[in-house]
A and B are shown apart, each in its own frame.
Chain A
Amino acid sequence: MMGGLVILWTDALVFLLLLFVGAFGVYAAGKEHLRGPWRLVVRSRVGVSTLVILSFYVAVGLLDSVHFEPSYVADPQAQDRVQSTEVVSLFDRLVLPLRERQEKTYSAPLATHLYAKENIEQPGGTMIRDYPRLQYGGAHLANPAQDWAGDVLRLSLIGLVKGLVLTLVLANILFALLAPRRAGGFAGAAREVLTGKGQIPWRSALITLGLLLMVLLWAVELSGRYHLLGTDKVGEDVFYQALKSIRTGLLIGTLTTLVMLPAAILLGIMAGYFRGWVDDLIQYTYTTLNSIPGVLLIAAAILMLQIYMSNHADEFDSLVERADLRLLFLSIILGVTSWTGLCRLLRGESMKLHEVDYVQAAVAFGVGHFQIIVRHILPNVLHIVLITVVLDFSGLVLAEAVLSYVNIGVDPTMNSWGNMINSARLEMAREPVVWWSLLAAMIFMFTLVLSANLFSDVVRDAFDPRLRSSR
């Protein structure tokens, strides 16, 4: 813990993953067989559009993965400060107003009044039963009934115009960057981008970015004065919750893969390369693990974790740390249930590769097994690994929601779309219906999963030419 910085387990793994991706990028840049498919990805319109959206999610997730203790930052010299239990992230700091402006209980999106009637004391001392004003949402309006619509419209327009202007500025920067390498200079670059003629579909990327920025700035503008997506039972801003859930969703989707990759790659290649009893043993292991229904294995493991945690309650400094460990554990156990598919694929592929002439030649020259695997087999199965990782991601994000519903997902105190849906589900019976938490979680999840699905299709097509014809 340096300078108040808190590194949670999952944070560390996120940055490790980032390092991995960076290293892979550097490695792939020098290899034509890996660079070529990526070129196809960025030349596809769907590819660049989804990349823009995914980068937004990743950016929020990364900002949300830098944690620190606010009390330490505020006063690092305080000697007698008690062990602070509050840990916030850089992202929390960025959206501080969203986090701090808590209402009493439910309120609808953009509402100025609470959702339920309460007894309000009038200046004269009499009590009336009415919807009380919100403490923050629309508090600047003198007469909400009259001014509300105009104010929302005005703020929306400001937000949209800001987004548009920002997009135009970015577009011009792009033209300027492209200009030196284009025949027509700045105008030529602009023409190429706007007509969509270039090799890289900049136009699609710009349109997506423009829409994203407009929605984003619209949301920023409105959530400065209102609760854009309403508030939940304890009055927390739902928009804030949905944004915070991004990190959880991304972590489940990526950490699980990170955890399972070493085992899947190592065992898969070993089974296919060595065959014989090694193959039998590995096949036996994954068939056994695979036959246990995944949900039940996860349930059993989470039950055990709960017991462990309640027996060792004093080992955890803060709620955040506890929730974080549970998230990590969930990723690990999800990894255990999901590595078998990749392992089987890799086994088959390395079995084929073992028969290929250049591997046989290497064997004949007396090259060691380890070197053959690292030099000849591993590079040739990397595309399978990549395709699987990308394909699995969206399924894992969806799985998180289902697991949280069964109470074997992430910690109930952690922000996640699954938890949001789970708590919203109970409110569907209310009259009028509290629908906004559900809708917020669904929209955020749907956008991420849809982009990931489309992106993974593009990646798969680029890396696996055999499948291209059948799409």
Chain B
Amino acid sequence: MQTKGIWQIAWQSMRSNAAAMGGLFMVALVMLLGAFAPVIAPMHPATQVLDFRNVPPGFHGKVIRFKYAPALPEQIEAVTSVKKTDLHIEFVNLAGKARTIARSQYISEDNVYYLLGTDHFGRDIFSRIVYGARISLIVGFSASTISMLIGVILGAIGGYRESFASKLIMRFTDVMFGFPALLFLIGITAAFDPSLTVVFLAIGFVSWPGMCRLMRGQVLKVREELFVSAAKTLGFQSQRILWRHILPNCLAPILVTYTLGIAGAIMAEASLSFLGLGAQPPTPSWGAMINNGKDFIRTAPWISLSPGIAIAITVLGFNLLGDGLRDALDPKMQGK
């Protein structure tokens, strides 16, 4: 009989956990949306059709698509009628004004469907949410990776051996814990020109202390194990023992914290973008979309609601997945 490895056992445990599988499904869905955004989204996220401003979910209307020049972005305009000749296309817009474009500029005549309605610039909210998934995921993974790298390295050094350096590291971690995270983030992002890079770097550099403490705790525990003593007896160097023997045995809790960290980072990005400190217009960040809709909350609530739900699903997905992983990777939970 073949013995099962820890990952196999964990996977089996996960599969029987409905909540965890739900989380995995939500995360997979958002990832697919992000990965195939250009295929899924019916429009470019920045395309404005002012005539279809603030229209509710389910609206559809007649449009013409054209480009002023091949290298320039596609234009979409709401029309009531289109007349084609060999050289020109003449169309009448909703204000009743006729405009003529060259045949070469014309792309297609279309009936667009707005699944989730439009925002105050007549941009398709569904397309923006699909593209916005990319931003949330990029920020979530990058920020959580940065915080993991910092946290794991500092935590391992802090836990492996009692020294001045390790004490210094842990006191520094305490200091970092003392700052209110969001305030600290606002401070950092406000100091630079707002951009997505600044946002995920800032989130990464602010959120590592949790990972660091966790890692230290794990290292403190694992370094007393027999196999570590064995490795020491064999004369291995500390470096090797730490990274090759101790670290792999701490992987499970790191993975859980990493997954939960993604959820936290996505929330932090949304908060910063809501405050105008994150991605700049017309980037379709979910937080910024909520902010854009706040003035229209009484007249067009779907503008804020849709990205709000998108954030909720994504964050919930990562949280459920993280919780599921914790249960699955915890040997004490086996069989329960």
Q: Do A and B bind each other?
A: no
Binding site for B on A (CB under 8 A): none
